[in-house]
Structure 1
Amino acid sequence: MASGLALAETPLPLSPYSARVILKTILGRDDRGSGLAGQRAVIGGWVKSSKEEQPEPEPQPEAEAPATGGLVQGRQEPSCTQILQSRIPLFRSIIKVFGTRPPPVREKSVSPVPKRPPPPPTAILQVSDGSCVANLQVVVESSVTTLSKIIPSGTCILVEGVLQQPVAKGRHAIELKAEKIMHLGVVEQKYPLLIKRLPLENLRDFPHFRPRTTTAASVTRIHSALAQAARTYFMKNGFLYVQVPIITNTDGDGVSKKFHVVTFAPKKEVKTVDDAGGVRLETVKSSIEEKQKVIKELKRSESNKETLAVAMEDLKITKELVALLEATEKSKSGASFDAGRMDFEDLFSGNAYLTGSGRLHLESYACALGNVYSFGPRFSAEKSESKKHLAEMWMIEVEMAFSNLEDAMTHATNFLTSICQSAMENCDEDMKFLLKRVDRSIVTRLQTTRSAPFQRITYAEAVHALKEAKYSKFETKPELGVPLTEEQESYLADEAYGNPIIIHTYPKEAKPFYVRLNKDEKTVAAFDVIVPKAGALIRGSQNEERLDVLTTRIKEAGLAKEQYDWYLDLRRYGTVEHSGYSMAFDLLVQFATGLNDVRDVVPFPRTHGRIIN
């Protein structure tokens, strides 16, 4: 208790740029804030839930009772006055006999006790500022502000008050008694997230409100912690950060579909309905039929060819007017533009794409600076409905000079185990929440990844294990030479081995053209790290440093050689053995949080056929 009082005398630290106390400072202590009772604080946040209470009125004081004598054996001893009053009827009878009038008896008056007014109603708010899982209970009396304005869920408040022990003992160790509302962001309409524990798939319709939920907030804090841990790991191990281009004219792997970057403009200026003289679309469409009948009659009667030409030109103009009016209606209704009425042109000197991989560009820096990495968005135009695929995903990509396949696999496993260790150490509170609400195997999975050795198997061994699976029916039959599917990779990690595994030595047809060809000229020096829940988390390789072999591989893949001249230059002028890998960072977050769909771990997911904001 003494230590708690000592802590309470020290002012609470403020957020550097908002002059308020972060709730984690209060609620993240070992005593959950109980030692801070008596401290003044300004806190800000959003109302997660609330209720209005009418406090019980204080008991009324009783009227002053007449003085009494002592107690005899637990009973009150009557006073002299009480004895005399009890004998008054007898005295009156005696006096009446002797003809004497008795004096009037005065009764003692008791002054009335004024009734106290009922206590004012109180709002009990559960407030979160996103810094931790727990909410701070805030008590606001009606004398401070209008309670109806602060009660709705989603309301933003900045409030000043005093921390105190809750009157009712429960799950809260401390609460804030509000004295002044410094800011109030009211909810003007029905709040979208009123349903408690709204399903994750429903939350995807509100990505701008989703972080206000406890689950999304925990995922975001883990997301941030993992990104910071990755950067810290590379900095400690001597890697340099390099930004690779998002727009490129190089096909990063030569196999996936890409987004083509172009500019567009309308072929003709689209007139509005007013510009067309107020003509209605239905009227113009109906006139087309009449004009077509006239032309048909003119052709049948073999009339003046000039008249026929004029009629046909008139019909053409009318059809163009219909197209313009339809385009105007589409633009007003929010419909997408008509590609047939647009001029497309390349902004750059040739074809340009949104990059699907930055490893080729990263190689040029590895060949000059040693070990480098990049962290940024990558794009794929595949029309996939997979729960592990997005059109825009963030990737961590690594390239190391003077390293081979073995070095790359070792580095990938060291990096992954370090990240898992960091998540367990720095996200304990959020992990406990997700362990309870989402997936009870999160901690076990992270501990296994951190400590268990990654079993290494060849692609051929993986296919054999899939063929031996007795109780699994795969949509695609496992065969040598055929790339492994997501379903097959998940089976190997989740069921066949039950631990993270590394699959290496793939057939050359299953991997990009730049992967180093092995001596058998049938397989390549590639590897994939497969983990439970997320599947293929890391894909890496030793890259081909031999100019003649790489040139042949580009030709075999049917790629334009001129597109890769700069890449071949790295082999012409001082080649070096090198390797690296790409980690799907969004899948890493999915793996660490236990969520089933990658769309639920990305702040604003972009998927095939769906983009909200």
Structure 2
Amino acid sequence: MLVKKLKEQVEQYDGQIVTLQGWVRTNRNSKNVSFIELNDGSCFSNLQIVYTPEMEGYAEASKITTGSAIEVEGLVKATPNGKQPLEIEAKRVSVLGMADHDYPLQKKRHSFEFLREIPHVRPRANTYYAIFRVRSVLSMAIHTFFQDRGYVYVHTPEITGNDAEGAGECFTVTTIKNQDYEKDFFAKHAQLTVSGQLHVEPFALTYRNVYTFGPTFRAENSNTTRHASEFWMIEPELAFADLSDNMDVIEEMIKYCINYVLEHAPEEMDFFQRVIDKNCIDRITRVANSDFKRMTYTEAIAELEKAKGSFENNEIYWGMDLQSEHERYICEKVVQGPVFLTDYPKDIKAFYMRENADGKTVAACDLLVPYVGELVGGSQREERYDVLKDKMEKMGMDESTLQWYMDLRRFGGCVHSGFGLGFDRMLMYLSGIQNIRDVQPYPRTPRNLIF
């Protein structure tokens, strides 16, 4: 019997004998009555097990340590006026796996820094217990959103010969101890992918609407709270869609995901609101209920120039790469809600973005939301072969490694667009958790590879 099922059907099981298995969160002993807080992984909240000296094996039960795996047979008792809808009056408590006394999670608040050192145990701590279930729920929301709309899920490779962003911050995949890659496993320089976008575009030109959802890697020596060396990305690609169509899908997806998580993980979201960010539910609900405004990069720069002196970085000029403080100012102070910034300078954006008629900007968009700034980045792709070729030549890119990508423009190409949502950052946004290391099961960051 699962605790979740019991709590959902209290009246049906009231007065019945049930058997449960789970892990001890706390075991409180007193002279006349003792209590075990049991969690079996089926829901966020614990179930109270009541046992008394009259129970056979009481002495052994009173010595059960926090973290132990147990089996309980007992009577279900509805408690409509209590803090919980029911409790179990134990008839038998059996130890399935006793936790040693040095079990690291005791009944006190542990720091996130300490818990990051024990990633194999920390899922049992409340914050992580909540976030990793929300991680599962959000994954389902992503798949449900796209599958219900006819998108095809494509598994793009994690090992690639291309650097999609052209940033050069890739992990090399090799079996040799030098750089003679012609003698390596793949007979060329292979890397872990930084994006599935380039590899998913051919499928968009086959199935029309596709998406990839998987791990990506970046060898960026950054120790900020927002960066990790391994992270998950959702990257849809839409054929016959321009930038405006792209933004419509982004807006619909973000709203859908927020509402899905609020519906399917209410206990976890209530916990985040109580303990992590007292405004998180209201904040994301307002975004889900709002219309996403649209503003050009040039208009945003004008607004930032008016507020010059309000930022840590006050060097405001057209062509700059906006910092998080600038993005938050635009959405929190100027728009007071979510906003798409569009038409960025081409010099600060990727080679594959479609060049606008002005020759200075590209058809790109970033979704900015209150509290975090940029949440989603996307663009209309450059579908014109000659323009793409010229841009790559001016950037000094090796065209031979991307001729296959350019060929898509010659073999029935069309207007198409896509975007990327950082899955881990979306979790941070929903929960209010400030560090990306605390939303990933096993975070990979510089000089951090515990196991």
Q: TM-score, normalised by structure 1?
A: 0.70
In structure 2, what is the Cα distance between the partners aligned to 1:36 and 1:150?
A: 29
Give the number of aligned pairs.
449
Identity of matched residues, %: 36
Q: Paired residue for 2:73, among 160, 168, 176?
A: 160
1:344–1:573 distance in 2 versus 1, CA, 3 Å:
closer
Native 8 Å contact 1:543 1:577 kept in 2? yes
Structure 2 residues without counterparts, runs of 5 or longer: none
Q: Name the structure 2 match of 1:132.
A: 43
Q: Name the structure 2 match of 1:582.
A: 420
In structure 2, what is the Cα distance between the partners aligned to 1:165 and 1:374?
A: 46
Q: Name the structure 1 match of 2:335.
A: 497
Deviation at 1:467, TM superposition (A): 2.2
The correspondence of residues 278-293 of structure 1 with structure 2, limited to 5 A, is none
Native 8 Å contact 1:51 1:151 kept in 2? no
Q: Paired residue for 1:255, among 163, 167, 173?
A: 167
In structure 2, what is the Cα distance between the partners aligned to 1:45 and 1:194?
A: 17
Q: Name the structure 1 match of 2:148.
A: 236
The correspondence of residues 458-473 of structure 1 with structure 2, limited to 5 A, is 458-469=296-307, 472-473=310-311
The correspondence of residues 252-331 of structure 1 with structure 2, limited to 5 A, is 252-264=164-176
More divergent stretch after superposition (156-165 vs 226-235):
156-165
Q: Work out whether 1:50 is the aligned partner of 2:27.
A: yes
Q: Work out whether 1:151 is the aligned partner of 2:64.
A: yes
In structure 2, what is the Cα distance between the partners aligned to 1:556 and 1:247?
A: 27
Q: Name the structure 2 match of 1:358.
A: 196
Deviation at 1:169, TM superposition (A): 7.5
Equivalent AA in structure 1 for residue 50 of structure 2: V
SS of residue matched to 1:398: strand
More divergent stretch after superposition (193-202 vs 347-356):
193-202
SS of residue matched to 1:571: coil
Equivalent AA in structure 1 for residue 144 of structure 2: T
Report Cα offsets for 1:363-417 as digits up to 9, x if no partner.
Answer: 1011111100010001111111222211111000011111111111111111111
SS of residue matched to 1:159: strand
Q: Work out whether 1:552 is the aligned partner of 2:390.
A: yes
Q: Name the structure 1 match of 2:369.
A: 531
In structure 2, what is the Cα distance between the partners aligned to 1:344 and 1:361?
A: 23
Native 8 Å contact 1:373 1:399 kept in 2? yes
In structure 2, what is the Cα distance between the partners aligned to 1:344 and 1:154?
A: 52
Q: Name the structure 1 match of 2:113.
A: 201
Q: Name the structure 2 match of 1:310.
A: none
Q: Name the structure 2 match of 1:475.
A: 313
In structure 1, what is the Cα distance between the partners aligned to 2:111 and 2:7?
A: 27
Q: Name the structure 1 match of 2:17.
A: 40
Q: Name the structure 1 match of 2:232.
A: 394
1:414–1:570 distance in 2 versus 1, CA, 3 Å:
same
Native 8 Å contact 2:181 2:188 kept in 1? no
Equivalent AA in structure 1 for residue 75 of structure 2: V
In structure 2, what is the Cα distance between the partners aligned to 1:157 and 1:498?
A: 51
Report Cα offsets for 1:512-558 as digits up to 9, x if no partner.
Answer: 10101111111001001111233211110000111111111111222
SS of residue matched to 1:263: coil
In structure 2, what is the Cα distance between the partners aligned to 1:150 and 1:42?
A: 20
Report Cα offsets for 1:455-510 as digits up to 9, x if no partner.
Answer: 11111122222222256222362221121123322333334433111111001111
Q: Work out whether 1:488 is the aligned partner of 2:326.
A: yes
SS of residue matched to 2:29: strand
SS of residue matched to 1:53: coil
SS of residue matched to 1:551: helix
The correspondence of residues 70-149 of structure 1 with structure 2, limited to 5 A, is 123-141=34-52, 143-144=56-57, 146-147=59-60
1:171–1:151 distance in 2 versus 1, CA, 3 Å:
farther
Equivalent AA in structure 2 for residue 160 of structure 1: E
Native 8 Å contact 2:292 2:338 kept in 1? yes
Report Cα offsets for 1:1-53 as digits up to 9, x if no partner.
Answer: xxxxxxxxxxxxxxxxxxxx111112345xxx366331111111111111112
Rg (Cα) greater in structure: 1
Native 8 Å contact 1:377 1:392 kept in 2? yes
Report Cα offsets for 1:107-159 as digits up to 9, x if no partner.
Answer: xxxxxxxxxxxxxxx54110112222321111345622643675311111122
1:260–1:181 distance in 2 versus 1, CA, 3 Å:
same
Native 8 Å contact 1:125 1:151 kept in 2? no
In structure 1, what is the Cα distance between the partners aligned to 2:309 and 2:392?
A: 41
Cα RMSD, aligned residues only: 2.4
In structure 1, what is the Cα distance between the partners aligned to 2:301 and 2:213?
A: 32
SS of residue matched to 2:155: coil
Structure 1 residues without counterparts, runs of 5 or longer: 1-20, 56-121, 266-338
1:427–1:165 distance in 2 versus 1, CA, 3 Å:
closer
Q: Name the structure 2 match of 1:442.
A: 280
Q: Name the structure 2 match of 1:22.
A: 2
1:422–1:169 distance in 2 versus 1, CA, 3 Å:
closer
Native 8 Å contact 2:3 2:20 kept in 1? yes
Equivalent AA in structure 2 for residue 544 of structure 1: E
Equivalent AA in structure 1 for residue 169 of structure 2: K
Native 8 Å contact 1:540 1:581 kept in 2? yes
SS of residue matched to 1:479: coil
In structure 2, what is the Cα distance between the partners aligned to 1:563 and 1:370?
A: 25
Equivalent AA in structure 1 for residue 15 of structure 2: G
In structure 2, what is the Cα distance between the partners aligned to 1:569 and 1:231?
A: 30
Q: Name the structure 2 match of 1:422.
A: 260
Deviation at 1:177, TM superposition (A): 2.3
1:46–1:163 distance in 2 versus 1, CA, 3 Å:
same
1:150–1:487 distance in 2 versus 1, CA, 3 Å:
farther
In structure 2, what is the Cα distance between the partners aligned to 1:261 and 1:456?
A: 41
In structure 2, what is the Cα distance between the partners aligned to 1:494 and 1:233?
A: 28
Equivalent AA in structure 1 for residue 273 of structure 2: L
Native 8 Å contact 2:181 2:187 kept in 1? no
In structure 1, what is the Cα distance between the partners aligned to 2:8 and 2:111?
A: 28
